[in-house]
Structure 1
Amino acid sequence: MLHIEARVMRAAARRHCQHICELIDYGVEKPDYIFIVIPLLGKDLYKLRNEQINRRFSMCTAIQVGLQTLKAIEELHLSHFISRDIKPGNFMVGLHENQQHKTIFLIDFGLAKKYIDKNGKLIPSRGEIGWRGTTRYGSLNAHLRLDLSRRDDLESWFYLLVEITRGSLPWRHISERAGVQAAKLMARNTGQKQFFHQCPKQYKILMQMIDVLVFEDSPKYHEFINVLMDIKKEWNLQLNSRFDWDEEEMTTSTRSITKSISSSDAECEKAMKEECINSVETK
């Protein structure tokens, strides 16, 4: 897996990517000892979100994170790789001492796959190949165990965006993959109101844009950016402002850690979970 990690970071370096973790060194000491060296980074988005009140970011930070993580995915795709494991834990923030505290980096390419062949052609879908990714953020195609593409990275990114905005995903307490799959399908029909609870109305547009993409499509990343910028304009957000976790300006209250979510969030989550369980049991 370290071999593929090194390949991805080298390809990204050739394109001077700003949001892909830098590869400092890579080598083999013995037949069974492989190493890579990367810069020291800060916390990942999963930890940072859990440290916020109600486990969610402010709208300003959520949209800034959405833009930077989307850019990281675009850079990865332009380097001819897909991640197949987009999730908050695979995005880390740079350090103040490196003047990178305003930059989010994509890391961990152990499941990455090249989707362009040596002739610059798209590698065709292999059909059903087995599960890839993380259940909570996996795309509907991942649940069908289909070969994944650029659109699936975007679907996982979208679940990340919803989670950091509203504080949780409705299926976070569902352990069975079939139940999670049912919840994701429900988010597109009868459970849409619960799914988009406390989210900007434009999030529905993002989901629709992703759902119409097929394996061969090259996503129009600028159109996704435009939707996020519409939110910025409507909410009058200052996207050059600090992140919620910026320790230099954070108050004691914003640093407090809580595992509670608002009662309305909890009610929506409970209702959707129960409906998903019933859906799975009736199949």
Structure 2
Amino acid sequence: MAYKYGRDDGPVELEIGKICGRRWKIIDKLGEGGCGSVYKVQDIHTMAKAALKAESNFIAGGSVLKLEVQILKRLDGRRYVAQLLQAAKKTRYSYMVMTLFGQSLNTLLRRIHECSVSTQVRVGINILYGLKQLHEVGYVHRDIKPANLAVGRRGQETRVIHMLDFGLAREYVIRSEGTVKMRIPRTGTLFRGTTRYCSANAHKRSEQGRPDDLWSMLYVLAEMRGPLPWDRVRGKEEIGKVKEATSDMKLCRNSPKEILDIAIHLRSLNYYTRPDYLLIYNKLAAVMSKCHYRYSDPYDWEKTKYSSHRRHSRRGRRSSASTTSYSSVDSRNEESLTKEELKTAIFADETPPQSYIWDNDKELFTAADFEINEIGF
């Protein structure tokens, strides 16, 4: 694999057309940030596309790539999550190859003027499922936002919202001699996350746990129906104050009552408390049942067939101040994204998802997916 030498701690530059690991041909660069770069690659044997992340071995503060590889290994074989295809360490850099997804939720929501409750609750169930998978293997994400969620590229996967970019994740458990227990929360932690979507708890520099990921999910869902109360507020501290002062009723004012019920449940949790994933699922599923929504219904962005119209009345243009890893999206996919949003977006293929003929009797998720307590606490 050809490597362009430069600063040891800078982004890794790999030449287009070169083959990595005797299997993956680099066909395009999707983006870079900090010390890493993301490429679209193709399996020279099967022609399948994938994503390759490369990171310098000389970066300060530890390897983001190593953490992501570790998490993907834990998630191996689970439905609707990114799969690790290969990983290797070279003299000057390391790389991993993983699932290439379709366009980010951030991109898709920019293509519609308003978001329906149908799309909102189905996206919610998708995010909830992904978070439960991550939590059950002992990690919290700490950066849930539309740019870190993406649809699949083929078949049924185009109907699934996948969770990506584990660069800010943290293991909230300790594994020792065959036992697993929760870590004791630290005090005065560094800020981790994206200011717009992180929990109020994160603003206080408190240790983030499973409930904090779910608060981020709730903020994403609330924003799908209208601007967040802190939409025009600037500054990390000021946004934190508005979050603290915002009532659940105001946050969920444009959403079904069941979304408010989820917020009330989250209020009852602390760092150690296991969220009731089944309760949250049942709330979202109740909306689907009451309104006769189906998983086979088109999402709002599918109804527009990737039109050039942009959603501007509900969700303003803004930058999301965050502490991020280096995943990037092909900038050709994003319409008028700010520099900061481009830096924090996930990598994705530029090709719109293929159409998929859905079995109307098929359910993407059932209650059974949310009721099992795998980790034990």
TM range (shorter): 0.7 to 0.9
Name the CA distance, whole Å, in 2 between partners of 1:65 and 1:178: 29
Report how far residue 92 of structure 1 moved.
0.9
SS of the residue corresponding to residue 214 of structure 1 reads coil
Name the CA distance, whole Å, in 2 between partners of 1:258 and 1:103: 22
Number of the residue aligned with 1:51:
111
Answer yes or no: is 1:224 the counterpart of 2:263: no
Query: Structure 2: where are the runs of 5+ without partners?
Result: 1-63, 317-377
Report how far residue 99 of structure 1 moved.
4.5
Query: 1:52, 1:256 within 8 Å by CA — same for their partners in 2?
Result: no
Number of the residue aligned with 1:167:
226
Report how far residue 29 of structure 1 moved.
1.5
Number of the residue aligned with 1:197:
253
Answer yes or no: is 1:258 the counterpart of 2:310: yes
Number of the residue aligned with 1:273:
none
Number of the residue aligned with 1:41:
101
Query: 1:53, 1:256 within 8 Å by CA — same for their partners in 2?
Result: no
Answer yes or no: is 1:181 the counterpart of 2:240: yes
Answer yes or no: is 1:7 the counterpart of 2:70: yes
Report how far residue 259 of structure 1 moved.
4.2
Name the CA distance, whole Å, in 2 between partners of 1:24 and 1:173: 41
Name the CA distance, whole Å, in 2 between partners of 1:19 and 1:170: 32
The structure 1 residue matched to 2:217, chosen from 136, 151, 157, is 157
Report how far residue 41 of structure 1 moved.
1.1
Residue by residue over 1:86-122, the C-alpha shift from the partner in whole angstroms, topping out at 9 and shown as x without a partner, is 11111111013x5421122111000111111113011
Query: 2:191, 2:202 within 8 Å by CA — same for their partners in 1?
Result: yes
Query: 2:222, 2:254 within 8 Å by CA — same for their partners in 1?
Result: no
Report how far residue 201 of structure 1 moved.
1.6
Report how far residue 226 of structure 1 moved.
0.7
SS of the residue corresponding to residue 101 of structure 1 reads helix
Letter aligned with residue 243 of structure 1: Y
Letter aligned with residue 110 of structure 2: N
Number of the residue aligned with 2:86:
25
SS of the residue corresponding to residue 233 of structure 2 reads coil
Residue by residue over 1:51-78, the C-alpha shift from the partner in whole angstroms, topping out at 9 and shown as x without a partner, is 1114xx2211111110011000000001
SS of the residue corresponding to residue 18 of structure 1 reads coil
Residue by residue over 1:25-70, the C-alpha shift from the partner in whole angstroms, topping out at 9 and shown as x without a partner, is 111112x30111112211111111111114xx22111111100110
Number of the residue aligned with 1:242:
298
Name the CA distance, whole Å, in 2 between partners of 1:240 and 1:156: 26
Name the CA distance, whole Å, in 2 between partners of 1:154 and 1:214: 12
SS of the residue corresponding to residue 35 of structure 1 reads strand
Residue by residue over 1:172-216, the C-alpha shift from the partner in whole angstroms, topping out at 9 and shown as x without a partner, is 221211221122123227xx33x3232112221111111110111
Higher helix share: 1
Query: 2:81, 2:163 within 8 Å by CA — same for their partners in 1?
Result: yes
Query: 2:80, 2:157 within 8 Å by CA — same for their partners in 1?
Result: no
Number of the residue aligned with 1:271:
none
Number of the residue aligned with 1:233:
289
Answer yes or no: is 1:100 the counterpart of 2:157: yes
Higher strand share: 2
Select the structure of larger CA radius of gyration.
2
Query: 2:142, 2:169 within 8 Å by CA — same for their partners in 1?
Result: yes
Query: 1:19, 1:75 within 8 Å by CA — same for their partners in 2?
Result: no
Alignment size in residue pairs: 250
Identity among equivalent pairs (%)? 28
Report how far residue 232 of structure 1 moved.
1.5
Number of the residue aligned with 1:275:
none
Letter aligned with residue 209 of structure 2: S
Name the CA distance, whole Å, in 2 between partners of 1:77 and 1:237: 28
Number of the residue aligned with 2:188:
128
Query: 1:60, 1:239 within 8 Å by CA — same for their partners in 2?
Result: no
Number of the residue aligned with 2:149:
91
Name the CA distance, whole Å, in 1 between partners of 2:292 and 2:246: 28
Name the CA distance, whole Å, in 2 between partners of 1:177 and 1:234: 39
Residue by residue over 1:229-261, the C-alpha shift from the partner in whole angstroms, topping out at 9 and shown as x without a partner, is 121223232233222233xxx346x73423431
Name the CA distance, whole Å, in 2 between partners of 1:50 and 1:121: 41
Letter aligned with residue 8 of structure 1: I
Letter aligned with residue 257 of structure 1: H
CA RMSD of aligned residues (A): 1.9
SS of the residue corresponding to residue 174 of structure 2 reads coil
Number of the residue aligned with 2:127:
69
Query: 1:81, 1:116 within 8 Å by CA — same for their partners in 2?
Result: yes
SS of the residue corresponding to residue 173 of structure 1 reads coil
